[in-house]
């Protein structure tokens, strides 16, 4: 849509609105947009597709703003920031007050309704998966095939090949892809986190005597699902806090999650920090026990995410918007404990996770057996919260720096803000009647150590063990 | 009763005997009547993954084979559909390989110069495991379907190429000389004399290739996932469902055997006695 509102987005003084007397072509051709601020003050134009046009406009503005394009809604931006140098950084402030109302009800018709979304069969992907059987994609006019993927290397390649329109990824992956770490560099976006918590350290049943003190783990072989994963960074962080150098004292291997239990059973691994249901499955198979939930390392840590290429979001803003809406809606639905049993049953079949229902139910409801003879009740063992905090991105980048995955000077905040698309998540959350946070940075307390997102470099240097 | 018939009967009895031993040695596990909540959450002994008795596999086979074409979404399709996907990949990759390998093999076999030129490349490329190509193929071709086909192509090309070259080079000089005294053109010599003479060797190469292609497709599909018999095995491994895994192993074996016996027939047809 060519809209007058986009022609000079940085100038707050020129009236670009398509008012009633506007003579521009798009108004004459029955497509009118008004600035949402004036909606109540002025008589409403009676065109049938006003809402559609309006939401399209605002959505485009949000999306374009995110990627540093120039086509930005004048009112939203000029008023909020006074025009001038608008960089990617303003993305974090912009949509909270500006875009919400317009995106509210109807986005435009998706440019493409038949989509492929990849997932790795783990409970972290719950919102992406359940949105299919529980009809969230349909609700937003999308016909989505959720495609099971063997591991993250393949998920990454299939995403970069455009076989998947969007995919379930680990939160560090879009950062790594954007920076070209372990991949070709391609601007990626992560507009929503899938789950928080929900991982665990599992040890082989033979190591029950070493459960009390990680210092006894010297020489252990651990599995993690991917190099650029929270699992890898949390495991490294955890053992390092107990004085073990993860690059020297233990061995960390990359093992695709579905192969974790088989490898533990075969004695190839002494333990792993992996996504569920494979932690609970190890208990179910009586080959492992749960040493620690990752929730107890960092309560509220992000894990998996929904990600797509910046190109996809740019070229198909309505599809992207609807998909994001469907996922945030699903994520929201997954959060209350009362829905968890239903979800467990919906995602257990062969087409999705292919796991016994009781295993998934234990993960999702948080009432579980730990393999040591105890039953625990931890309702937030896994939780679902879509908001992609920029501070999470900064933390991940500090760990990538700490363990030598990235070298040199890192512009932590810029990268986190470019990739973690908090603005889109916030506007969609608003439109669904949710309350997004009003800031995008906060500090975390991880095993008694405070992380300050404003001092990333000092944080990296503060660790005794590491390569930073 | 002929010896063959006796042998057949004995084979069957042996199989049945072994299955009976397997069946009887698999412990029947039933859980206690009243399990505590902890036991329930642990799944009890009966839920644990273990090697199943033959009866469970037969039951599984019956279920799968009576409904081979069901389609419950992109990640759960019947065994017939999975086999069809795998066969499609194998046949496409294999055909492409044959189109390249047979003419090239002919050239190499007929020209010592071409043989000497290409030999170093063949020697280096031949021993590479086809799966090692997979990451590179995914990156360059940018399509997982085409990558799987490429892997089949690259693994089935070598036996065909080498056997064709070997067969063509090994045609008796007398026969070629006879053709020359009859003043046949090179083209006619190639098709009426050399091709029939080299056919058994070429067919051996083709038979080896199809066997390798079928071996490799399972591994390739486990890697890229999505569809195919390899994905089926992977998906069931995911769930540690050994009954399905054993069933699919049997299916893979049977299909591989059928492919092989097809080529065996063609091979007998082109066989000749000197």
What is the predicted pLDDT for the residue at B45? 64
Is the pLDDT score of A264 beyond 50? Answer: yes
Q: Do residues A270 and A211 make contact, with C-beta atoms less than 8 angstroms apart?
A: no
The residue of A115, A132, A150, A183 whose CB has the most chain B CBs within 10 angstroms, and thus the best one to mutate to test that interface, is A150
For range A291-310, the mean pLDDT? 86
Tokens 């939401």 sit on residue: A55
What is the predicted pLDDT for the residue at B33? 66
Check if the interface score ipTM surpasses 0.85: no
**Could you state, in order of their start, the residue ranges of all structural domains in chain A?**
4-103, 114-194+302-355+382-461, 199-296+365-377
- DSSP string for residues in A237-265: HHHHHTT--TTTTSEEEE--GGGHHHHHH
B43 to chain A, closest Cα gap in Å: 6
Q: Do residues B245 and B199 make contact, with C-beta atoms less than 8 angstroms apart?
A: no
DSSP-assigned letter for residue B171: S
Q: What is the pLDDT of residues A161-171, one digit of tens each?
A: 888 888 888 87
CA A264 – CA A8 distance, rounded (Å): 60
Retrieve residue A398's tokens.
Answer: 């500090």
Is cis: bond before A226, omega within 30 of 0? Answer: no
Nearest chain B residue to A360 by CA: give it. Answer: B41
- DSSP string for residues in B208-237: HHHHHHHHHHHHHHHHH-SSSHHHHHHHHH
Q: Do residues A286 and A371 make contact, with C-beta atoms less than 8 angstroms apart?
A: yes
Kindly determine whether residue A349 and residue B139, on different chains, have CB atoms separated by under 8 Å: no
| Radius of gyration, alpha carbons of chain A | 23
CA A143 – CA B8 distance, rounded (Å): 55
A350 and chain B: CB distance < 8 Å anywhere?
A: yes
**Could you state, in order of their start, the residue ranges of all structural domains in chain B?**
52-66+74-270
Q: What is the CATH number of domain A114-194+302-355+382-461?
A: 3.40.190.10
Kindly determine whether residue A351 and residue B75, on different chains, have CB atoms separated by under 8 Å: yes
Interface size A-B, in CB pairs within 8 Å, comes to 96
On chain B, the residues whose CB falls within 8 A of the CB of A157 are 135, 138-139, 144
Q: Is A112 exposed, middle or buried (0-12, 13-18, 19+ CB in 10 A)?
A: middle
Tokens 């008795």 sit on residue: B53
Nearest chain A residue to B221 by CA: give it. Answer: A150
Q: What is the pLDDT of residues A143-200, one digit of tens each?
A: 888 888 887 888 888 888 888 888 888 877 877 777 777 767 777 878 788 888 889 9
Longest dimension (CA), chain A: 80
Retrieve residue A63's tokens.
Answer: 């999306």
DSSP-assigned letter for residue A381: S
Nearest chain A residue to B232 by CA: give it. Answer: A350
A114-194+302-355+382-461 with A199-296+365-377: one CATH topology? yes
What is the predicted pLDDT for the residue at A20? 45
Kindly determine whether residue B42 and residue A284, on different chains, have CB atoms separated by under 8 Å: yes
Tokens 């170093």 sit on residue: B120
Is the pLDDT score of A67 beyond 70? Answer: no
Range B52-66+74-270 classified under CATH 1.10.3720.10:
yes
Q: Do residues A61 and A427 make contact, with C-beta atoms less than 8 angstroms apart?
A: no
Pairing mode, if any, of strands A444-446 and A143-148? unpaired
What is the predicted pLDDT for the residue at A452? 85
Task: Say how many CA atoms lie within 13 Å of B133 toward its Cβ.
Answer: 21
DSSP-assigned letter for residue A302: B
Q: Do residues B191 and B163 make contact, with C-beta atoms less than 8 angstroms apart?
A: no
CA B130 – CA B217 distance, rounded (Å): 10
Pairing mode, if any, of strands A114-119 and A143-148? parallel
Kindly determine whether residue A375 and residue B234, on different chains, have CB atoms separated by under 8 Å: no
B232 to chain A, closest Cα gap in Å: 10
Kindly determine whether residue A121 and residue B74, on different chains, have CB atoms separated by under 8 Å: no
Q: How confident is the model at residue A7 (pLDDT cuts 50, 70, 90)?
A: very low
What is the predicted pLDDT for the residue at A52? 40
Pairing mode, if any, of strands A271-275 and A199-204? antiparallel
Q: What is the pLDDT of residues A381-420, one digit of tens each?
A: 888 887 888 888 889 888 888 888 888 888 888 888 888 8
Specify the 3-state DSSP secondary structure of A197: strand
B50 to chain A, closest Cα gap in Å: 9
CA B49 – CA B197 distance, rounded (Å): 55
- DSSP string for residues in A401-412: HHTTSS-S---H
Kindly determine whether residue A262 and residue B237, on different chains, have CB atoms separated by under 8 Å: yes
A138 to chain B, closest Cα gap in Å: 15
Lowest mean pLDDT among A69-78, A345-354, B95-104: A69-78
Q: What is the pLDDT of residues A99-127, one digit of tens each?
A: 333 343 456 777 888 888 888 888 888 88
Q: What is the CATH number of domain A199-296+365-377?
A: 3.40.190.10
B231 to chain A, closest Cα gap in Å: 9
Kindly determine whether residue B144 and residue A121, on different chains, have CB atoms separated by under 8 Å: no
B142 to chain A, closest Cα gap in Å: 5
Is the pLDDT score of A26 beyond 50? Answer: no
Tokens 């190839």 sit on residue: A268
Q: Do residues B154 and B130 make contact, with C-beta atoms less than 8 angstroms apart?
A: yes
Retrieve residue B70's tokens.
Answer: 């069901």
| Radius of gyration, alpha carbons of chain B | 25
Share of chain A above pLDDT 90, in %: 4
Kindly determine whether residue A359 and residue B40, on different chains, have CB atoms separated by under 8 Å: no
What is the predicted pLDDT for the residue at A463? 85
Per residue of chain B (274 residues), give pLDDT as tens: 688 899 999 999 999 999 888 888 877 766 666 777 777 777 766 667 778 888 888 888 888 888 888 887 777 888 888 899 999 999 999 999 999 999 999 888 888 888 888 888 888 988 888 888 888 888 888 788 888 899 999 999 999 999 999 898 888 888 888 888 888 888 888 888 888 888 899 999 999 999 999 989 888 888 877 788 988 888 888 778 888 889 999 999 999 999 999 999 988 888 887 7
Pairing mode, if any, of strands A382-384 and A444-446? unpaired
Residues paired with A118 in a beta bridge: A147, A167
Q: Do residues A424 and A64 make contact, with C-beta atoms less than 8 angstroms apart?
A: no
CB atoms within 10 A of CB A26: 17
Torsion of CA A53, A54, A58, A63, to 10 degrees: -20
A259 and chain B: CB distance < 8 Å anywhere?
A: yes
Of B223, B239, B240, nearest to A150 by CB-CB distance is B223
Q: How confident is the model at residue A140 (pLDDT cuts 50, 70, 90)?
A: confident
Q: Give A411's contacts (C-beta < 8 A, 6+ positions apart).
A: none
Specify the 3-state DSSP secondary structure of B96: helix
Pairing mode, if any, of strands A166-170 and A304-309? antiparallel
CA A468 – CA A240 distance, rounded (Å): 14
Strands (E), B215-261: none
**Element (H or E) spanning A175, and its range?**
helix A172-179
CA A82 – CA A100 distance, rounded (Å): 20
Retrieve residue B95's tokens.
Answer: 């055909």
């Amino acid at each position: 849509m060519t809209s007058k509102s986009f022609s000079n987005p940085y100038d707050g003084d020129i009236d670009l609105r398509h008012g009633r007397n506007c003579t521009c072509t798009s108004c004459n051709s029955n497509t009118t947009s008004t600035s949402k601020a004036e909606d109540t003050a002025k008589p409403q134009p009676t065109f049938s597709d006003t809402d559609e046009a309006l939401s399209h406009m605002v959505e485009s503005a949000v999306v374009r703003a995110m990627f540093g394009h120039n086509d930005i809604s004048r009112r939203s931006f000029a008023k909020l920031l006074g025009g001038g140098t608008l960089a990617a950084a303003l993305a974090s402030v912009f949509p909270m007050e500006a875009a919400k109302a317009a995106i509210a009800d109807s986005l435009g018709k998706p440019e493409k309704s038949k989509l492929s979304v990849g997932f790795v069969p783990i409970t972290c992907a719950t919102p992406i998966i359940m949105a299919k059987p529980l009809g969230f994609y349909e609700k937003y006019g999308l016909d989505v095939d959720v495609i099971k993927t063997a591991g993250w290397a393949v998920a990454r390649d299939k995403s970069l090949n455009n076989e998947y329109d969007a995919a379930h990824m680990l939160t560090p992956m879009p950062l790594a892809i954007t920076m070209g770490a372990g991949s070709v560099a391609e601007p990626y976006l992560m507009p929503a986190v899938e789950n928080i918590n929900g991982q665990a350290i599992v040890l082989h049943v033979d190591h029950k005597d070493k459960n009390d003190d990680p210092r006894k783990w010297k020489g252990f072989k651990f599995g993690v699902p991917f190099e650029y994963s929270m699992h890898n960074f949390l495991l490294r962080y955890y053992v390092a806090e107990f004085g073990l150098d993860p690059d020297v004292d233990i061995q960390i291997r990359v093992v695709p999650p579905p192969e974790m239990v088989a490898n533990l059973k075969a004695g190839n691994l002494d333990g792993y920090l992996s996504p569920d249901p494979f932690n609970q499955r190890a208990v179910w198979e009586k080959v492992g026990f749960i040493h620690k939930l990752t929730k107890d390392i960092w309560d509220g840590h992000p894990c998996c995410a929904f990600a797509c290429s910046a190109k996809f979001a740019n070229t198909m803003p309505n599809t992207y918007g609807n998909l994001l809406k469907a996922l945030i809606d699903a994520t929201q639905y997954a959060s209350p404990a009362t829905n968890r049993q239903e979800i467990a049953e919906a995602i257990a079949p062969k087409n999705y996770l292919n796991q016994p229902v009781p295993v998934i139910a234990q993960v999702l409801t948080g009432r579980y057996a730990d393999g040591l003879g105890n039953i625990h009740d931890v309702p937030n063992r896994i939780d679902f919260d879509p908001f992609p905090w920029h501070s999470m991105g900064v933390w991940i980048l500090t760990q990538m720096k700490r363990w030598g995955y990235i070298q040199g000077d890192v512009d932590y905040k810029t990268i986190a803000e470019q990739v973690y698309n908090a603005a889109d998540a916030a506007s969609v959350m608003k439109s669904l009647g949710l309350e997004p946070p009003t800031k995008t940075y906060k500090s975390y307390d991880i095993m008694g150590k405070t992380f300050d997102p404003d001092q990333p470099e000092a944080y990296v240097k503060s660790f005794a063990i590491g390569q930073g | 009763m002929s010896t063959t018939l006796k042998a057949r009967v004995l084979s069957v009895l042996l199989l049945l005997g072994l299955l009976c031993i397997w069946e009887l040695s698999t412990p029947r596990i039933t859980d206690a009547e009243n399990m505590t909540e902890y036991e329930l959450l642990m799944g009890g002994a009966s839920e644990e993954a273990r090697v199943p008795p033959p009866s469970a596999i037969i039951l599984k086979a019956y279920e799968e084979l009576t409904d081979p074409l069901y389609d419950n979404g992109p990640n759960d399709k019947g065994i017939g559909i999975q086999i069809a996907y795998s066969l499609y990949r194998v046949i496409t990759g294999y055909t492409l390989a044959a189109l390249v390998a047979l003419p090239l093999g002919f050239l190499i076999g007929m020209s010592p110069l071409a043989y000497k030129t290409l030999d170093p490349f063949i020697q280096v490329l031949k021993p590479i495991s086809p799966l090692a190509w997979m990451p590179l193929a995914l990156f360059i071709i940018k399509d997982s379907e085409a990558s799987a086909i490429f892997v089949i192509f690259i693994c089935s090309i070598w036996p065909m190429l080498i056997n064709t070259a070997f067969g063509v080079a090994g045609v008796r000089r007398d026969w070629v000389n006879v053709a020359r005294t009859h003043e046949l053109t090179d083209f006619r010599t190639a098709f009426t004399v050399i091709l029939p003479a080299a056919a058994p060797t070429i067919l051996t190469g083709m038979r080896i290739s199809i066997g390798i292609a079928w071996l490799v497709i399972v591994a390739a599909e486990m890697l890229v996932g999505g569809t195919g018999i390899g994905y089926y095995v992977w998906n069931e491994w995911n769930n540690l469902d050994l009954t399905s895994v054993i069933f699919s192993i049997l299916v893979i074996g049977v299909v591989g055997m059928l492919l092989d016996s097809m080529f065996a027939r063609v091979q007998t047809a082109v066989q000749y006695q000197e």
